[in-house]
Amino acid sequence: MVERAVAGKLIPRVLLALACAASTHIASATSAPLAVDPAREAQVMHIAEKLRCLVCQNQSIAESNADLANDLKREVREQLAAGKSERDILDFMVERYGDFVLYEPPVRNSTLLLWGGPLTLLVAAGAGFAWTLKRRRAAQAASTPETTAGNDAAARARARALLEEAPENTPEERA
Amino acid sequence: MKTKFAVPLALFLGLVVFFAIGLTHDPREIPSPLIDKPAPDFTLPQLHAQDQTLSLADMKGKVWLLNVWASWCAACREEHPLLVAMSKTRVVPIVGLDYKDQRPEALAWLQEHGDPYDVSIVDAEGRVGINFGVYGVPETFLIDQQGRIRFKHIGPLTRKVVDETLLPQIKALQNG
């Protein structure tokens, strides 16, 4: 009886495992075969990560399982096997699909704004910030004497006395 | 004090203009680098006469359309009546490239929806498709007498594209 109970639990699990194995087998049979050599396959993936999948535009063809992405991975695999370099393969893709297929667009006149834009913005923002600070400081310097000179002479004297009294004033704090 | 608000406001409005222009672009429409370049060479088996092939050289001297389609492609059904209508006017030869499809399904599909193609060719593995930069079926290429690609439309053809772009370009090429 005990044996039968165990078997009753086991059989569905075994069946489930078999079903899973069969389904992954079917899935792998439909996708393109991987390169045999793991180092070669790593190289394929390295190149595939630089190429945008045009069907699902926010994925590289390495990440995507779209039909076209699989075909393009097959293309990369075959061209590597034929002794083509990474540069050759990327050029092959750009010739057919345009710069858009590259995740890192090349520097050209049409992409200058893309590459130089962030730096230009940073420099402009920095310059604007410096200019504002300078203006504010100048405004402060101009307004300080009038507002505090007459009415706060006593307060200033008290502050100076407090500062001199303070026992463990470090030079940094004084500065 | 006025400039204090004017500058951010101007920047904001500038951004709005940029985004408004950006929104009118379809991100799926990627300009093909193949426009005005020679069409990639191919030799493919025909769909109906399996033992015969068609290659780029066979179309030399003609202005023709290459329509990439598949029986599994829903959007192809959408544009198909336009192609059938165009084929009836005989304005231009249309070659159908059956892309990554099964032969029996493709034949049945043409039987059911009408066959606008002068010749149908089979690209079972999608290799010629890659050479043409195909990424979304249907796609339509206009190729001139010298075998150069002059125009490409991605996605289903529309009445507007056919009347306002395709037909005028075909006329211009045929006369020129």
What is the model's pLDDT at position A40? Answer: 87
Instruction: Please count the CA atoms within 13 angstroms of the CA of A98 that sit on its side-chain side.
Output: 13
What is the model's pLDDT at position B25? Answer: 82
Q: Is the pLDDT of residue B139 over 90?
A: yes
Residue spans of the domains in chain B: they are: 30-174
Q: B33 vs A75: CB contact, 8 Å cut-off? A: no
What is the model's pLDDT at position A54? Answer: 87
What is d(CA B147, CA B61) in angstroms, rounded to the nearest whole number?
8
Q: Is the pLDDT of residue B96 over 60?
A: yes
Question: What's the whole-model pTM score?
Answer: 0.72
Q: Is the pLDDT of residue B71 over 60?
A: yes
Residue A96, min C-alpha distance to chain B (Å): 5
What is the model's pLDDT at position A28? Answer: 42
Q: Are B136 and A54 in contact (CB under 8 A)?
A: yes
Q: Point out the residue among A55, A57, A75 whose CB comes nearest to the CB of B27.
A: A57
Compute the C-alpha angle A95/A96/A101, nearest 5°.
90
Could you tell me the CA-to-CA distances from A118 to A123, A132, A166, B18, B174 in Å, in that order?
A: 9, 21, 48, 16, 48
Record: fold of B30-174: Glutaredoxin (3.40.30)
What is d(CA B141, CA B39) in angstroms, rounded to the nearest whole number?
9
What is the model's pLDDT at position A1? Answer: 44
Q: Are A49 and A60 in contact (CB under 8 A)?
A: yes
What is the model's pLDDT at position B5? Answer: 86
Q: A97 vs B135: CB contact, 8 Å cut-off? A: yes
| Residues in chain B, overall count | 176
Could you tell me the CA-to-CA distances from A13 to A1, A4, A21, A91, B114 in Å, in that order?
A: 19, 14, 12, 50, 51
What is the model's pLDDT at position A14? Answer: 52
Q: Which residues of chain B have a CB within 8 Å of the CB of A96? A: 33-34, 130-133
What is the model's pLDDT at position A129? Answer: 95
Task: Report, as an integer, the average pLDDT of B27-50.
Answer: 90
Torsions phi, psi for B45 (to 5 deg): -70, 150
What is the model's pLDDT at position A27? Answer: 41
What is the model's pLDDT at position A10? Answer: 54
What is the model's pLDDT at position A149? Answer: 52
Is B6 or A29 the better-scoring residue by pLDDT?
A: B6
Q: Point out the residue among A55, A67, A98 whose CB comes nearest to the CB of B32.
A: A98
Looking at every residue in chain B, the average pLDDT score rounds to 93
- B64-69 vs B53-55, strand pairing mode: unpaired
What is the model's pLDDT at position A172? Answer: 56
Helix (H, G, I), strand (E, B) or coil at B92: coil
* Per-residue pLDDT tens over the stretch B100-110: 999 999 999 99
What is d(CA A128, CA B119) in angstroms, rounded to the nearest whole number?
65
pLDDT range class, residue B32, cuts 50, 70, 90: confident
pLDDT beneath 70, residues of chain A: 1-35, 144-151, 167-175
Buried b (16+ CB within 10 A) or exposed e, B44-81: bbbbeeeeeebebeebeebbbbbbbbbbebeebeebbe
Centroid of chain to Cα A172: 40
Q: Are A73 and A62 in contact (CB under 8 A)?
A: yes
* Residue B32 contacts A where some CB pair is shorter than 8 Å: yes
Q: What share of chain A is helix, strand, coil (3-state, %, to 5)?
A: 75, 0, 25
Q: A55 vs B131: CB contact, 8 Å cut-off? A: no
| Residue with the two structure tokens 């439909």 | A30
Helix (H, G, I), strand (E, B) or coil at B117: coil
What is d(CA A133, CA A131) in angstroms, rounded to the nearest whole number?
5
What is d(CA A168, CA A139) in angstroms, rounded to the nearest whole number?
34
β-partners of residue B68 are B97, B139
